[in-house]
Amino acid sequence: MIKKLVLSAALLSQLSIPASAQLRINMGSDSPMRKLQIAEMAINNLYVDSVDEQKLVEDGIKGMIEKLDPHSSYMTAKEVKEANEPLQGNFEGIGVQFNMVEDTLLVIQPVIGGPSEKQGIIAGDRIVSVNDTAIAGVSMPKEEIMRRLRGPKGTKVNLGVVRRGIADTLRFVVTRDKIPVKSIDAAYMIRPGIGYIRIGSFGAQTHEEFCQSIMKLTGEGMQSLILDLQENGGGYLHAAVAIANEFLDNNELIVYTQGRRVPRNEYRAQGNGLFEKGKVVVLVDSYSASAAEIVTGAIQDQDRGLVVGRRSYGKGLVQRPIDLPDGSMLRLTIAHYYTPSGRCIQKPYEKGKKGDYAMDVVNRLKSGELMHEDSIHFVDSLKYYTLKEHRVVYGGGGIMPDYYVPLDTTKYTRFHREMSAHSLIINASLRYVDQQRKALKKQYPTFARFQQEFEIPASVTDGILAEAEKQNIKPKDDEELKTTMPYLKLQLKALVARDLWDTSRYFAVMNESNDVVKRALELMNQ
């Protein structure tokens, strides 16, 4: 021990550390933290080549985190900003929904009431320059274009816009503002008396958006609700608790958290929910995680509604964000969360093996779980009971739905996946709407008429197939092509509906062939 202390003191003296700093370190015990400090200072000051001290420290933090659970993480300041933006519910910019078509920014829809709409920018416009810098036809990365369009609220940006039917480039000066980021993907009446709400993530504004959707649909005669949490990767715990509160009676347990250094903390319903009565069916799949599982677990365990779909992801760990001085962040797992019956639905993991953990969904597909319910096995030690009807539920690996719906792998062929991956489908739909927007709006003044009558022209699908062949993307045989076409046409119709109206209409089209949604509707009618 004495030898170690002498060596450390000698090393500190070589590093030319101020006396005050030396005193603080020398006063500490011979702890792992002191060891880490000495190692970092030694490398930074004595190593044969120059080192990036910031990166050295970040790599050290990442190295420690990698040995923990799969959900603890370290993020740089840039990554923190990018991750928080969709959850915070807003960002600052010009307010347009856009996509890139042939190196040109095409406006899909301006945000209603946003700065671009106020200045007269409309769907179909092409933004070709930002502050006199060309962004069209120059192969500028999408991230760089977004950086130029976004900026602090109140700042101005000069936009050059090309509009179909007008020869000259139009000029707009747009004052940036806060732009809302919606987390409710769709809210509409799917059948008389039955509402449908799809939540994409749980952010700061999700509960407010959800309440607005509930009130809107209730005003349209909603008596039952399909709550779609498929592909919802989670978000803020408090948002999940607030939404579960809208369904449950006063003092009913929603979720509780507990950890080694974190005492049990319960979250209970307040008795002021907007939808405490009426049928509820929750839809989940293998990508429904975290906050989505909190809502699902509360509704299932309290026997408030039924769960339909496939086993959820299985994330039952609670992370606490720890802000670091340079804007970076440590997200450290501090507790497990438990559903009202006492289930922890965290799926098994081995510390330090995040790669194996990330392959779980792929392994479910390989094992046949996504196609066959009898491929799923739970041990009796993980058996729990719902609180009112005492139905059997299981912990230890996601939430098993009350009604299992297998994945139909025949709909979404390899040929379709390859065309999607190369953006052939989305680009074709954007071009079609861009060329036919006025004619489509005139022919289909209402979505109801569009839904009933519209079919995607053969010229559009033929164009996609021709472009696919040019890129050597081909079906393996005539049978695969035949299987691909119905889903391709449906997806194109949904994309056209989205661009003419909004994302609710996209899901209104797609849901008519969604097996999980169809099963929910059957249960609603029983």
Q: Which one-letter DSSP state was computed for residue 305?
A: S
Q: Please, what's the b/e burial string for 73-89 (b: 16 or more CB within 10 A of its CB; e: otherwise)?
A: bbbeeeebeeeeebbeb
Dist. CA 256–CA 183, nearest whole Å: 24
Residues 269, 273, 275, 277: is their CA dihedral positive or negative?
positive
Dist. CA 86–CA 102, nearest whole Å: 27
Dist. CA 106–CA 115, nearest whole Å: 17
Residues acting as catalytic residues: 290, 301, 315
- Run of H or E residues at 225: strand 224-228
Dist. CA 505–CA 112, nearest whole Å: 16
Which residues make Cβ contacts (< 8 Å) with residue 16, sequence separation at least 6? 45
Which residues make Cβ contacts (< 8 Å) with residue 220, sequence separation at least 6? 189, 195
What contacts 24+ positions apart, CB below 8 Å, involve 121-125? 121/96, 121/159, 121/161, 121/172, 121/174, 122/163, 123/437, 123/499, 124/163, 124/164, 124/433, 124/434, 124/437, 125/161, 125/162, 125/163, 125/170
Dist. CA 24–CA 19, nearest whole Å: 9
191 phi/psi in degrees, rounded to 5: -150, 160
Q: In Å, what is the CA distance from 113 to each residue of 21, 116, 127?
A: 55, 8, 19
Dist. CA 361–CA 182, nearest whole Å: 27
- Run of H or E residues at 239: helix 237-245
Helices 414-421 and 424-443: crossing angle, nearest 10°? 80
Place of tokens 């008429």: 449
Helix, strand, or coil (residue 237): helix
